[in-house]
Structure 1
Amino acid sequence: MPDALAQAVAPSSLTGDGGAARPPGPGPGSALVDAVALNKPRRTLIPLPRPVRRLAGPLLLVLVWQLLGTFGVVGERVLAPPSAVFSAGWELTRTGELTDHLLASLTRVASGLALGVSAGLVIAVVAGLFRLGDELLDSTMQVLRALPVLGLLPLVIIWFGVGETPKIALVAFGTAFPVYVNTYSAIRGVDHRLVESGRTAGLGRLGLVRHVILPGAVPGFLVGLRFALTGAWLIMIIAEQLNATNGIGYLMNQAQSWYRTDIIVLGLLIYGLLGLGADALVRLLERRLLSWRHGFEGGA
């Protein structure tokens, strides 16, 4: 009898409200609580706009760099401080020399990207949609992808000479493969359940390609485009330092002869800013084309 009484009283003493003891684990309202918690706006550690917070890291790096140059920790012959770099940039801009070199580089990269991205996209679609295209093209693209792009420079010069064509050809060759690999993988990675749902809805092969497969491959294409944009500038740095008469790479090569580290660093900063601008362009395309997709955006 005492044991039975103890068992009857124990739940009330645990709950404190005279009712039955709550079972372990999440209760009936836990799903609602979790949903409310997930929908609450995230708090940021620094109450500043997101663009300002993204610039905080580079600005801090520039400040440390300037202090190292000001106090003589790093000599100007080794690495010019930001003040000297900005001064050289202003002088080259004032004379119009920097603008001419920048336009030459932009023209080459744009031409090479147009050819490389178009070729990579078309080959990826053919190899991804058709079994025969996969058997004929994918293995060939994988072999060519393993070739070092800059190692082809002597051969490209023999083929096309030392004008604009070899530089554009190198950029096209180097940017086609990131687009191909990521787009091809995205096409083959489309969820089979979506394809079956499209067939159930009455879509034919062309309708599946247009409304299911290609839209599902857009994220992969944009990833490949991001890699292609970065790779284009890396290739152009080397291509413009060999057999070139203008361009940012040519300007840096000329500055090396005079130990002008300020101009060399200026060229590197221009390449970095161009890469940042290209990445921002791809992010804008992602927001426009993938507005239906909501992914994880990081915690507070």
Structure 2
Amino acid sequence: MATLPASAQPRREPEQAFIENRQLDNLRPLTRRLGLPAAIRFGWLLGPFLLLVFWAAGSATGFIDSRQLPAPWVAVTTGYELIEQGRLQNHLLVSTVRAGQGLFFGVVLGVVLALLSGLSLTGGYVIDGLVQIKRAVPALALIPFFILWFGIGEYMKVMVILLGVFTPIYIHTHNALRGIDLRYVELAETLRLSYWQFIRQVVLPGAMPGFFLGLRFAVMGAWLGLVVVEQINATDGIGYMINLARNYAQADVMLVGLVLYALLGLASDCAVRLLERRSLAWRKTLAQ
């Protein structure tokens, strides 16, 4: 069978890039006409920056009582002292490992359940109702039972974090799967795609936006769960450091712990945003 010479073969990548650029060029005049401002790089940091400015100004002018909330520079100096003593690094490492374990297993569980429920009617009937029941029961209410079942060690702590992670992953991934346009399914049938081709080319791209939205909630859920579990029979971790400082009325150390939680949450959300932007580069939105 004769083949076309290399010069005559279609070049898909340049054509695809040309189409994407034309679509983006068509979108920009539309946003200008509607009065929508262009996206600013790292613009999402404006809110935290303004909060820091207000906090510093309030502390400097005496509007914020230092006995109730120490100044931001106090948190910096105290944090530096804790680093010199070697305490902050150890607590940070332990907390990061706990949150990371709960996040990993929670994401895996949420994705698996979402796929089983979203791609199978029987799976949806069985799984979705159970997850909705779990949503109605606060995770904090289950901690006494978790202590009874798993003890008060690390396993219980990871399980509590997992419980706060898998629910948003499941909900948003499941909704994205259920929201896939039926025309894509019909097109896959017309093209006679195999089941795994259908999963790879239709299901996964359709579920990714919902997955990343759920992941942003899940990351915050991991840190919130960490705050709770590190108050229960912990001997290390950021929460333990805060709890110990509370017993000795060390407001500056408590503030360092809270600021560290906030920075970890902000950094992890930034990482998810970046991963989402890279993974969904094919999707052009008003935010890009």
C-alpha contact 2:31 2:286 (8 A) present in aligned 1: no
- Paired with 2:248 and 2:142, the residues of 1 have a C-alpha distance of 29
- Paired with 2:31 and 2:170, the residues of 1 have a C-alpha distance of 38
- Paired with 2:142 and 2:71, the residues of 1 have a C-alpha distance of 36
Q: What is the aligned partner in structure 1 of residue 30 from structure 2?
A: 38
Q: CA deviation at 1:264?
A: 1.6
- Paired with 1:44 and 1:38, the residues of 2 have a C-alpha distance of 9
1:50 aligns with one of 30, 33, 41: 41
Q: What is the aligned partner in structure 1 of residue 72 from structure 2?
A: 82
Q: One-letter code of the match for 2:41?
A: R
Q: What is the aligned partner in structure 2 of residue 214 from structure 1?
A: 204
- Paired with 1:162 and 1:191, the residues of 2 have a C-alpha distance of 46
2:218 aligns with one of 215, 224, 228: 228
- Paired with 2:106 and 2:27, the residues of 1 have a C-alpha distance of 46
Residues 208 and 57 of structure 1: CA distance in aligned 2, closer, same or farther (over 3 Å): closer
| 1:173 and 2:163 matched | yes
- Paired with 1:244 and 1:36, the residues of 2 have a C-alpha distance of 53
Q: CA deviation at 1:176?
A: 0.7
- Paired with 1:78 and 1:193, the residues of 2 have a C-alpha distance of 59
Residues 96 and 182 of structure 1: CA distance in aligned 2, closer, same or farther (over 3 Å): same
Question: SS in structure 1 opposite 2:286?
Answer: coil
Encode CA deviations 1:183-209: one digit per residue, 9 max, x unaligned. 111111100011111111221333222
Residues 149 and 126 of structure 1: CA distance in aligned 2, closer, same or farther (over 3 Å): same
Question: SS in structure 2 opposite 1:104?
Answer: helix
- Paired with 1:45 and 1:132, the residues of 2 have a C-alpha distance of 46
C-alpha contact 1:77 1:259 (8 A) present in aligned 2: no
- Paired with 1:72 and 1:39, the residues of 2 have a C-alpha distance of 44
- Paired with 1:249 and 1:35, the residues of 2 have a C-alpha distance of 47
Q: One-letter code of the match for 2:156?
A: P
For residues 102-117 of structure 1, what are the structure 2 equivalents within 5 Å?
Answer: 102-117=92-107
Q: What is the aligned partner in structure 2 of residue 294 from structure 1?
A: 284
Q: What is the aligned partner in structure 2 of residue 7 from structure 1?
A: none
- Paired with 1:80 and 1:123, the residues of 2 have a C-alpha distance of 45
Q: Could you list the runs of 5+ residues in structure 1 that have no partner in the other structure?
A: 1-33
Q: CA deviation at 1:40?
A: 7.1
Question: SS in structure 2 opposite 1:50?
Answer: coil
Q: What is the aligned partner in structure 2 of residue 17 from structure 1?
A: none
Residues 294 and 163 of structure 1: CA distance in aligned 2, closer, same or farther (over 3 Å): same
Structure exhibiting the larger radius of gyration computed from Cα positions = 1
Instruction: State percent identity of aligned pairs.
Output: 41
Q: What is the aligned partner in structure 2 of residue 9 from structure 1?
A: none
C-alpha contact 1:76 1:261 (8 A) present in aligned 2: no
Residues 128 and 74 of structure 1: CA distance in aligned 2, closer, same or farther (over 3 Å): same
Encode CA deviations 1:45-76: one digit per residue, 9 max, x unaligned. 99xx733x544443333233223223333332
Q: Could you list the runs of 5+ residues in structure 2 that have no partner in the other structure?
A: 1-25
Q: One-letter code of the match for 1:146?
A: A
For residues 102-181 of structure 1, what are the structure 2 equivalents within 5 Å?
Answer: 102-181=92-171
C-alpha contact 2:31 2:37 (8 A) present in aligned 1: no
Question: SS in structure 1 opposite 2:116?
Answer: helix
| 1:72 and 2:62 matched | yes
- Paired with 1:144 and 1:56, the residues of 2 have a C-alpha distance of 36
Question: SS in structure 1 opposite 2:68?
Answer: coil
Aligned pair count reads 263
C-alpha contact 2:176 2:209 (8 A) present in aligned 1: yes
Encode CA deviations 1:233-289: one digit per residue, 9 max, x unaligned. 111111101211111111111111222222222111111111111111111221221
Q: What is the aligned partner in structure 2 of residue 3 from structure 1?
A: none
Q: One-letter code of the match for 1:265?
A: L
- Paired with 2:242 and 2:267, the residues of 1 have a C-alpha distance of 21
- Paired with 2:37 and 2:193, the residues of 1 have a C-alpha distance of 49
Residues 37 and 221 of structure 1: CA distance in aligned 2, closer, same or farther (over 3 Å): closer
- Paired with 1:205 and 1:55, the residues of 2 have a C-alpha distance of 43
> How large is the RMSD of aligned CA atoms in angstroms?
2.5
Stretch deviating more after TM superposition (251-260 or 220-229) = 251-260
